[in-house]
Amino acid sequence: MPVTAYIGIGSNMGDRKAACRKAIDLLSEAGPVKGVSSFYRTEPIGYREQEDFINAVAAVETSLTPGALLDVCRAIEDRLGRTRALHWGPRTLDLDILLFGSQIVNEPGLVIPHPQMAHRRFVLAPLAEIAPNVMHPVLQRTASQMLDDLKDTAAVMRCGPDPVLP
């Protein structure tokens, strides 16, 4: 039975918006894209000596397993030129599975819900925009509640409703 998965999308190299738009289009390989947030310009975390990111969140209705969805996300990243040279470093595209229905997954290489999502404004702002009442299955908090409680002060600015909506 299909579930709704929420995918975090980010880019800070090259034409960042174009990379995010292309990723949104390609996510349809996993199932119908049911919603896409606005784009947000966000400052980098961790390694700070890099360009700002463009971030968004897409809701995908999928019949894939979490592992198969991860494979699709990695293949899209690879097709759009992702290299993994520096942890938290610059990247043409980053796709993260934030939520997969109400499932909890803890496997080597795949943890769902995303372990850092509740601490990152650049994830919660776009997620709360398209799914304010989606529940974190571990914390039992909605996206809006987590955003309201967030202590993260990183700059996250809406760039407008740029993505092609389904």
* Residue ranges of domains in the chain, CATH in brackets: 3-160 (3.30.70.560)
d(CA 118, CA 103): 16
Find the range with the poorest average confidence among 56-65, 125-134, 138-147, 148-157: 148-157
Is pLDDT of 166 > 50?
Answer: no
d(CA 154, CA 133): 23
Catalytic residue, from 16, 21, 41, 94: name it.
94
Active site residue 96: yes
Catalytic residue, from 21, 91, 120, 121: name it.
91
pLDDT at 44: 80
Catalytic residue, from 96, 141, 152, 158: name it.
96
Is pLDDT of 75 > 90?
Answer: yes
Q: pLDDT for 137-153, tens place per residue? A: 999 999 999 999 998 77
Per DSSP, the three-state class of 120 is coil
State pTM to two decimals: 0.92
Comparing CA positions, the residue from 17, 53, 73, 9 lying closest to residue 35 is 9
Is pLDDT of 31 > 80?
Answer: yes
Active site residue 82: yes
Amino acid present at 59: A
Comparing CA positions, the residue from 101, 111, 11 lying closest to residue 56 is 11
Is pLDDT of 130 > 50?
Answer: yes
What band does 165 get if pLDDT is binned at 50, 70 and 90? very low
d(CA 142, CA 124): 10
Is pLDDT of 89 > 80?
Answer: no
144: left (phi over 0), alpha (psi -120 to 50) or beta: alpha
Catalytic residue, from 82, 141, 152, 158: name it.
82
Residues whose CB falls within 8 Å of the CB of residue 142, separated by 6 or more in sequence, listed in order: 128, 132, 133, 134, 135, 136
